[in-house]
Chain A
Amino acid sequence: MVLSIQELEWGLDNMNQTQFQAYQNIPQEKFTIVATQDIHDLKLDTKPVGYMKDAFRRFCKNKASVTAAIIIIFLLLFAVVGPFISKYETTFVDQNVQYLLPKSKNLQFLGWNGYSKKTISKADYIEYRAIEQELGVEVISKVYDEYTTETKMGKLVYYNTYYECKVNSYTATIMKEVQLTKEAYVALQNYQDENDVQVIYPITRMIYFKTDESVRADNANKDANGKFYSQSIYKDNANIWYRIQGSGNNKGIPAGYTNKNTYDEIKLTHDYVTSSLVSTSDDYTSKMRVSFEENNEFKYAKKVSGGNYLVRVNYNEYFEYLHGHEPLFLFGADQYGKDIFVNLAAGARFSLIFALCISAINLIIGAIYGAIEGYYGGAADMIMERITDILGGVPFMIVVTLFKLHIMDKVGTVTTMIFAFVLTGWIGMASTTRMQFYRYKNQEYVLAARTLGAKDRRIMFKHIFPNALGTLITSCVLVIPGVIFSESSLSYLGIVNLGVGGSTSVGTLMANGRGSISTYPHVILFPAVFIALLMITFNLFGNGLRDAFNPSLRGSEE
């Protein structure tokens, strides 16, 4: 039978006085030692398990949360290491490589190769075939289908031929015209000679694009013979094969495309043919000349104003000349030619640090506020609760907007956002702490501490607060995806722009991809997948933590 202390006390109090005295006056020699050996407790076989360790053990039992934690580690690694392993800087911008598709050197067999299935017009098709012939690279790897559509406009019937094929984005727009200063032009020629690569290709200009079928009805014009031509679309396109093959109507058509339907479509001329270029020299001294040139008849550059040269380059080679490596974007490039991989990593790093900071600040403010509320109660609690009621009632959007309008110009976007998130963010933490304080402040051990003379502050933070720690850590973790979600929503809506000054956030990246969802979905896909993954794993991780710290709450929200 086990007696409580009170019962023992009662027993002693009610003992017969003489009995009590008899017990008190037992002579020493009447005592004998019962145990000859030392008496001591058995040593515990198991190690003592603390609160944290216990929680950790429970957490490890939850497979989903552990998986989530591992994925989170990978995401963090990506955010931290990504910028270092990428060949690109976050500041890298190059319009000439815009919208290149994701391509990986080692994972090409998975279809991660920069190709995409596309429906292209006949003009594009011929152009791509021409590039293939000129450079010996592959643009179209497979043609699935070819079909012709009819459009009636008044009495005229327009026929448009389309090809459904797999196009390599890295070679489809490979030829670019760039303006170089004289020094750069000479340096590029030297590079060509040293490395034995052809970067500069003969310059071509298309005069007009002529067809019986009128390829583009939208800006078709009639020429003197009543034939339709359209000029503006392709005028500055450097991707037109320059080689005039054959003669007459066959000019400008790649070999093998000489049937009647095709050869009337493109009519090209070299700039060297036009009078302005015939007389001027192209200052091309490099030994690299295209193989099918017969007697140096091609011009490799066109002089433009300011003493610069307009040259037509194979941009992949030119890129290698500029940056020391070929253009290859693991996650593709966006509309500015930015590398999505490195920007996503940098954006993720920013978003995570941002969320962590906010979470930490919220924790501190919320803990102190909630502690005061819960511990003192009464009027203080009443007033402070009204304040949180009012703050909590303000929609987050309004907070952000008002902060934006008031202080954004003075302190910058990031500080503004931190203020906005902190202003209402700590309320959840405060109410959690308050609840815990209400639960524990009247318990005996607190009374004991007070009896021993502990000050209010000590009781609050040494004795009661640790009880709330598990729940608070959990809400801290759950705040992170919330902050990232709100931040990305706001960026996506264009209300704040965290993408200024070289920094970026995941939301900004997604907002960048909004305009090209149907044409270049990869721009938005990677940030979207990243953010979805982040949200799922953080929520799973947070729920796992909650269950681990607070087994009694398990499944309460599942």
Chain B
Amino acid sequence: MYMFKYILKRIGLMLLTFFVIMTMCFVLVKLLPVVDVKVFGQDANIIKMRREALGYGKPIMEQYFIFLKSVIVHGNWGVGEQMYTGSEVIDIFRQKLPATILVNVYSMILSVPVGLLFGIYAALKKNKWQDHFISTSVMIFVSVPSYVYAFLIQYLLCFKLGWFDFIMAPCETLSDYLSWTTFLSLIPAILSLSFGTIAGFTRYTRAELTEVLTSDFMLLARTKGLTKSQATVRHALRNAMVPIFPMIIGQFVGILSGSLIIESIFSIPGVGGLYVQSINLKDYNFFMLLSAFYTFIGLAANIIVDISYGIIDPRIRMGAR
């Protein structure tokens, strides 16, 4: 019951925060001078009509209520004004979302097992050369920015060795996205994204597992006759997973927003590229939607981590007095 209340409270607070941020965002965007529409025939009229419907020229708060109503009731975020002129913003967003999710899912599929394995290995070999080697590499891999990997991978694997394409293969339908060629063309991007995540998981797993391995119940487990591997797998790993698992979930949500630069480097037609484009072209409708998306992702990642801590290990009460 406590948990349920806690979750409700967290979600409520999150929604409130989200609402406040979006209000601020909206007001700040509306305070900017209105950008003229790039005109192509009929599109201009459509956009003009849409703008009138959205209450351009009225007080900002009134515009905000109109905006809220259209978003909440109709799911309508307006039309593209500077890019994808005349198309529904939400439709373009939906088109772009699969690529972003795909890259991140692949990257997680790669980095979770690898990171966990390295972490477990390092923890088991604590203070031996293997551990030092892994820890040092982790330090390096965590620190180096992902676009440096992207550059190295592009130069070495794509150009020098010619193993992969420079950019992602074009995709039209969902089956295109899941095809083997798409996967192959995504490998450089996946690798660039994964190095840092793998290192992060390794570090975290090692830290958690070493802590568990030195705790008293491990001694008890050995005393009652379990072998070292039995004790490690049955007791240590399970307990270490308690904090690791929420972190994986949080990472997955968080990585969605972290892939922005990688998407732009490898020309992945994802949400990140759309965002950068909308900023550079000053298309505020796209900007509002994508800002909402990224804000939501960020808040959701936090809350998911906190809640899952509590669910997985009821001893932990995040935010409790």
Q: Are A and B bound to each other?
A: yes
CB nearest neighbor in A for B207: A558
A492, B147: Cβ atoms closer than 8 Å:
yes
**Complex Cα gap A493–B258 (Å):** 13
Interface positions of B from 249 to 307, Cβ below 8 Å from A: 257, 260-261, 264-265, 275-276, 279-280, 282, 287, 291, 294-295, 298-299
Q: Which residues of A contact B275 (CB under 8 A)?
A: 397
Which of A398, A405, A510 gathers the greatest number of chain B CB atoms within 10 Å? Answer: A398
Q: Which residues of B contact A492 (CB under 8 A)?
A: 147, 261
Beyond A390-B17, A495-B280, A528-B151, whether A539 also contacts B143 by CB under 8 A is yes
B21, A494: Cβ atoms closer than 8 Å:
no
**Complex Cα gap A404–B276 (Å):** 13
> Is residue B66 within 8 Å, beta carbon to beta carbon, of the partner chain?
no
B20, A539: Cβ atoms closer than 8 Å:
no
Q: Which residues of B contact A189 (CB under 8 A)?
A: none
A395, B32: Cβ atoms closer than 8 Å:
no
> Is residue B197 within 8 Å, beta carbon to beta carbon, of the partner chain?
no
Interface positions of A from 321 to 373, Cβ below 8 Å from B: none
B294, A398: Cβ atoms closer than 8 Å:
yes
Q: Which of B147, B148, B154, B260 contacts A397 (CB 8 A)?
A: B260
Interface positions of A from 490 to 535, Cβ below 8 Å from B: 492-495, 510, 514, 517-518, 521, 524-525, 528, 531-532, 535
> Is residue A406 within 8 Å, beta carbon to beta carbon, of the partner chain?
yes
Number of interface residues of A (CB under 8 A): 41
> Is residue A481 within 8 Å, beta carbon to beta carbon, of the partner chain?
yes
Q: Which of A398, A493, A510, A538 contacts B25 (CB 8 A)?
A: A398
B266 to chain A, nearest CB (A): 12
Binary A-proximity of B198-211 (CB < 8 A = 1, otherwise 0): 00000100110000
> Is residue B1 within 8 Å, beta carbon to beta carbon, of the partner chain?
no
> Is residue A94 within 8 Å, beta carbon to beta carbon, of the partner chain?
no
Q: Which of B18, B28, B147 contacts A402 (CB 8 A)?
A: B28
> Is residue B144 within 8 Å, beta carbon to beta carbon, of the partner chain?
yes
Q: Which residues of A contact B28 (CB under 8 A)?
A: 402, 406
Interface positions of B from 107 to 153, Cβ below 8 Å from A: 135-136, 139-140, 142-145, 147-148, 151-152
Q: Which residues of B contact A320 (CB under 8 A)?
A: none
Q: Main SS of chain A's interface residues?
A: helix
> Is residue A226 within 8 Å, beta carbon to beta carbon, of the partner chain?
no
Interface positions of B from 18 to 34, Cβ below 8 Å from A: 18, 20-21, 24-25, 28-29, 31-32
> Is residue A540 within 8 Å, beta carbon to beta carbon, of the partner chain?
yes
Q: Which of A395, A401, A525, A536 contacts B295 (CB 8 A)?
A: A395
A539, B32: Cβ atoms closer than 8 Å:
no
A495, B279: Cβ atoms closer than 8 Å:
yes
Q: Which of B13, B29, B203, B295 contacts A558 (CB 8 A)?
A: B203
A432 to chain B, nearest CB (A): 18
Q: Which residues of B contact A532 (CB under 8 A)?
A: 143-145, 148
A394, B21: Cβ atoms closer than 8 Å:
yes
Beyond A390-B20, A397-B275, A517-B151, whether A402 also contacts B25 by CB under 8 A is yes
> Is residue A48 within 8 Å, beta carbon to beta carbon, of the partner chain?
no
> Is residue A45 within 8 Å, beta carbon to beta carbon, of the partner chain?
no
B295, A394: Cβ atoms closer than 8 Å:
yes
B32, A558: Cβ atoms closer than 8 Å:
no
CB nearest neighbor in A for B31: A406
A403 to chain B, nearest CB (A): 9
**Complex Cα gap A367–B164 (Å):** 49
> Is residue B217 within 8 Å, beta carbon to beta carbon, of the partner chain?
no
> Is residue A125 within 8 Å, beta carbon to beta carbon, of the partner chain?
no
CB nearest neighbor in B for A394: B21
> Is residue B65 within 8 Å, beta carbon to beta carbon, of the partner chain?
no
Q: Which residues of B contact A495 (CB under 8 A)?
A: 276, 279-280
**Complex Cα gap A406–B18 (Å):** 22
B200 to chain A, nearest CB (A): 10
> Is residue A236 within 8 Å, beta carbon to beta carbon, of the partner chain?
no
> Is residue A555 within 8 Å, beta carbon to beta carbon, of the partner chain?
yes
> Is residue B159 within 8 Å, beta carbon to beta carbon, of the partner chain?
yes
**Complex Cα gap A178–B235 (Å):** 77
Beyond A495-B276, A540-B139, whether A510 also contacts B147 by CB under 8 A is yes
Number of interface residues of B (CB under 8 A): 47
Which of A394, A406, A524, A538 gathers the greatest number of chain B CB atoms within 10 Å? Answer: A394
B31 to chain A, nearest CB (A): 7
Q: Which residues of B contact A209 (CB under 8 A)?
A: none
B171 to chain A, nearest CB (A): 23
Interface positions of A from 271 to 307, Cβ below 8 Å from B: none
**Complex Cα gap A359–B147 (Å):** 24
Q: Which of B17, B20, B152, B291 contacts A395 (CB 8 A)?
A: B291
B236 to chain A, nearest CB (A): 17
Q: Which residues of B contact A401 (CB under 8 A)?
A: 279, 287
Q: Which of B145, B155, B276, B299 contacts A494 (CB 8 A)?
A: B276
> Is residue A489 within 8 Å, beta carbon to beta carbon, of the partner chain?
yes
B111 to chain A, nearest CB (A): 18
CB nearest neighbor in B for A400: B279
A405, B21: Cβ atoms closer than 8 Å:
no
Q: Which residues of B contact A471 (CB under 8 A)?
A: none
A393, B147: Cβ atoms closer than 8 Å:
no
B232 to chain A, nearest CB (A): 20
Beyond A493-B260, A536-B139, A556-B207, whether A393 also contacts B299 by CB under 8 A is yes
Beyond A393-B21, A394-B21, A536-B140, whether A485 also contacts B145 by CB under 8 A is yes
**Complex Cα gap A384–B31 (Å):** 26
**Complex Cα gap A524–B291 (Å):** 31
Interface positions of A from 30 to 88, Cβ below 8 Å from B: 64
Q: Which residues of A contact B13 (CB under 8 A)?
A: 389
B29, A402: Cβ atoms closer than 8 Å:
yes
**Complex Cα gap A405–B32 (Å):** 7
Q: Which residues of A contact B207 (CB under 8 A)?
A: 555-558
A67 to chain B, nearest CB (A): 11
Q: Which residues of A contact B136 (CB under 8 A)?
A: 64
A8 to chain B, nearest CB (A): 37
**Complex Cα gap A536–B139 (Å):** 7
B32, A397: Cβ atoms closer than 8 Å:
no
A383 to chain B, nearest CB (A): 13
Q: Which residues of B contact A514 (CB under 8 A)?
A: 265
A389, B17: Cβ atoms closer than 8 Å:
yes
Q: Which residues of A contact B144 (CB under 8 A)?
A: 532, 535-536
CB nearest neighbor in A for B298: A395
A299 to chain B, nearest CB (A): 43
A393, B18: Cβ atoms closer than 8 Å:
yes
Q: Which residues of B contact A404 (CB under 8 A)?
A: 279
Q: Which residues of A contact B166 (CB under 8 A)?
A: 518
A493, B294: Cβ atoms closer than 8 Å:
no
Apart from A394-B21, A492-B147, A535-B144: 5 A-B pairs, beta carbons within 8 A: A405-B282, A406-B28, A518-B155, A518-B159, A536-B143
Q: Could you list 27 examples of A-B contacts with CB < 8 Å? A: A393-B18, A394-B21, A394-B25, A395-B257, A395-B291, A395-B294, A395-B298, A397-B275, A398-B25, A398-B295, A406-B32, A481-B143, A485-B145, A494-B276, A517-B154, A518-B159, A518-B166, A521-B155, A532-B143, A535-B143, A536-B140, A536-B144, A539-B142, A557-B203, A557-B207, A558-B135, A558-B203
Which 9 A-B pairs give the minimum distances between C-beta atoms?
A: A535-B143, A518-B159, A536-B143, A532-B144, A395-B294, A539-B143, A528-B148, A398-B291, A401-B279
Interface residues of B (CB under 8 A from A): 13, 17-18, 20-21, 24-25, 28-29, 31-32, 135-136, 139-140, 142-145, 147-148, 151-152, 154-155, 158-159, 166, 203, 206-207, 257, 260-261, 264-265, 275-276, 279-280, 282, 287, 291, 294-295, 298-299
